[in-house]
Every structure is written in C-alpha cells, then in structure tokens.
C-alpha cells in the first residue's frame, strides 16, 4: 500500500506549481516553497536537487494538465467550430494568466533548456492540435476552404495568450472576453452558414 496522506514531495511540487503561476520562476524562492508546503529546508533538498529540479517537476505536471484540458475540448463530440468555440469559452483563471505561457517572460527559466522544453513543446502541440481541428472544419465544408489551418490556429492560440496579457494589464477579465468574442466574430464570417 502507498501512503494515503499527501507526501512531502507532493506538497512541495504543488506549492511550486502555485508559486510559479503566481510569481514566476525568478521571484519564487525555495524558502517560499518550503513555507507553503509546510516543509523545512533539509526536507526540500532531500527530495529535490534544488530549485531548478523542483521547478521542472512542477512545470512538467502543469504542462501535462494544460494539454489534457485542451484535448478534452478538441476531442469532444460536435463540429469543428463548436469544439473551437468550446475551447475558447472554457472557464479560465484569466487574471492569473496562462500557467505555461506566462513562464515565457521569465529570463532565468528560458535560459535553462530543461525548463524551457515543456513550455516550448506544450504551446507547439497546442498550435498543431488546433490546426488539425481547423483543417477538419475546412475539409467538411464547415469552414471556408480558403482558410489556412496552421496560421488560423496560431492566431486563435495567440488571441488567448494575448487576452491574458490584456486582462492582467487592465486588472479585469473584460479585455480577455472581448478578444475571444472578437475572434469568434471573425471566425463566424468564414463559416458556410454565414
């Protein structure tokens, strides 16, 4: 039997995930992680080699989670436009920003190839996967065949990532919602029914 309680290592990873999202990599200190996890210094350095090692565990898990949530929307029953719409309108903690995209701004994290890799791979996968959905829509005659799936998908993902930026700047979800609404409005003009 495995322990049924939450292990110290587990609490350290979850605390790191939260702090990475709230404060970023550079601004997150081992001390802050330990305090949130209710663990001492020695405990942290027993389970992890250091701050980068712990961050890697946290980022890997967050990336996996983000991918799973997106895939859940993309592989749902419905037309391509319905699935894209559902993905765009999915509930998000907008003011906290994207837990993966936000890391892009952290110079120390991006300088470490191991930490950078999951960020790069996750967003590349997202663009590629969404391009497949757009391509389905074009193939099925639901979307204008003149639309390029790859660039259209990149624009849609960018609207989300940029929406987070605008919302954080305004300290309001409004710009995010407006950007999504605007993107859906532009897309609506390229559907067969339009």
Other Cβ atoms within 10 Å of 149 Cβ, number: 20
Q: Are 160 and 180 in contact (CB under 8 A)?
A: yes
Spatial contact of 16 and 54, defined as CB atoms under 8 Å apart: yes
Instruction: Return the one option of DNA, a second copy, none that residue 183 interacts with (CB less than 5 to 8 A, by type).
Output: a second copy
168 binds a second copy per the rule CB under 8 A:
yes
Alpha-carbon 186 to chain mean position = 23
51 belongs to the binding site for DNA (CB under 7 A): yes
Q: Which one of a second copy, DNA, none interacts with residue 42, CB within 5 to 8 A by kind? A: DNA
Query: What is the distance between the alpha carbons of residues 99 and 97, in angstroms, rounded to a whole number?
Result: 6
Our finding on whether 30 is near DNA (CB under 7 A) is yes
Site membership for DNA, residue 29 (CB under 7 A): yes
- Of 9 and 166, nearer to a second copy (C-beta) is 166
CA atoms of 36 and 130, how far apart (whole Å): 36
Q: Of 32, 57, 86, 155, which one interacts with a second copy (CB under 8 A)?
A: 155
Query: Among residues 27 and 95, whose Cβ is nearest to DNA?
Result: 27
> Applying CB under 7 A, which of residues 19, 39, 88, 94 lies at the interface with DNA?
39
20, 33, 83, 101: residue in contact with a second copy (rule CB under 8 A): 101
Cα(28)–Cα(32) distance, rounded to whole angstroms? 7
- Say whether 143 sits in a helix, a strand or coil: strand
């Amino acid at each position: 039997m495995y322990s049924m309680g939450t292990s110290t290592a587990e609490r350290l990873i979850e605390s790191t995930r939260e702090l990475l999202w709230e404060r970023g990599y550079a601004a997150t200190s081992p001390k802050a992680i330990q305090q949130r996890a209710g663990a001492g210094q020695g405990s942290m350095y027993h389970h992890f080699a250091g701050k980068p090692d712990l961050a890697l565990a946290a980022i890997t898990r967050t990336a996996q989670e983000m991918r799973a949530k997106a895939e859940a929307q993309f592989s749902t029953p419905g037309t391509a436009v319905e699935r894209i719409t559902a993905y765009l309108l999915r509930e998000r903690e907008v003011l906290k920003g994207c837990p993966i995209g936000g890391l892009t701004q952290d110079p120390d994290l991006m300088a470490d190839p191991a930490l950078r890799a999951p960020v790069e791979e996750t967003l590349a996968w997202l663009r590629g996967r969404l391009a497949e959905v757009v391509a389905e829509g074009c193939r099925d005659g639901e979307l204008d065949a003149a639309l390029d799936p790859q660039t259209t998908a990149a624009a849609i993902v960018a609207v989300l990532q940029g929406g987070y930026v605008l919302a954080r700047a305004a300290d309001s979800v409004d710009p995010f919602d407006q950007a999504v609404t605007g993107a859906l409005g532009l897309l609506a003009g390229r559907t067969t029914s339009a």
